[in-house]
Structure 1
Amino acid sequence: MPMAEQIRERLQSALTPVELEVLDEGYKHAGHANEGKGHFHVRIVSAAFAGQLPIKRHRMVYAALEGLMDNGIHALSIDAVAPDP
C-alpha cells in the first residue's frame, strides 16, 4: 500500500477528521535525502484538536503515525486545526 494511503488510514482511524488531505511532496525534494522519497504534507481538521495547543496537535498526529516515522516517512509538514465552532 502506498505510504500516503497508510498515513490517511492511520489518521482517519485515530483522529476521525472532518477534513483530511495527504500530499506526497517528494517531487519538491529531488536531490535531497532519500532522493525526495518520504516527504509528505498533511492538512487535518479534527474535533480532537479542540482546545489543544499546536504542539499537542502535532504530537497527536505523530502518535497516530508511530512506526511510519522511521519506516517510510522522511519529512512531514503538518497543518492540524480544530473545526470552526
Structure 2
Amino acid sequence: MGQVADTMARKLREAFAPEALDVIDESEQHRGHGGWREGGETHFRVRMTAAAFDGVSRVERQRSVNRALADELAGPVHALALELRGAAE
C-alpha cells in the first residue's frame, strides 16, 4: 500500500474497528481522467464491514467515512467508492 492508502486504513481502523477492511488504489484504472496524477493514490475503493454500521443507513455510513477521511478527501484523494456493511449483515 502507498502512504495515502496506509493513512486511510489507519484512520478507518481507529474510527470503526472493522472486522474486514480493504483499501484499494484504483487510480491506474482512471489514467487520463479528471483528478488522476502520476504515481496514483487519487482514486480509491474502500470495502469495510464493521459493527459500527449495524442499524445505520447507507447514507449515514458514507457520511461517517467521509468525516473520518476529511483530510484525504480535501487533499490527495479525488474519488472514493464505498462498499460498507454492518457486521450483522
Is 1:49 aligned with 2:50?
no
**Aligned residue number for residue 25 of structure 2:** 24
TM-score, length of structure 2 as denominator length: 0.89
Q: Distance in 2 between matches of 1:59 and 1:7?
A: 15
**Aligned residue number for residue 59 of structure 1:** 63
Larger CA deviation: 58-67 vs 29-38? 29-38
| TM-fit CA distance, 1:84 | 2.8
TM-score, length of structure 1 as denominator length: 0.92
Larger CA deviation: 15-24 vs 64-73? 64-73
Structure 2: which 5+ runs fail to align? none
Q: Over aligned residues, Cα RMSD in angstroms?
A: 1.4
Q: Deviations over 1:30-70 (max 9, x none)?
A: 00123354100000000000001100000111111121101
Structure 1: which 5+ runs fail to align? none
Equivalenced residues, count: 85
Structure 1 residue runs of 4+, over 4 Å off? none
Percent identical across equivalent pairs? Answer: 32
Q: Is the 8 A contact 2:21 2:48 kept in 1?
A: yes
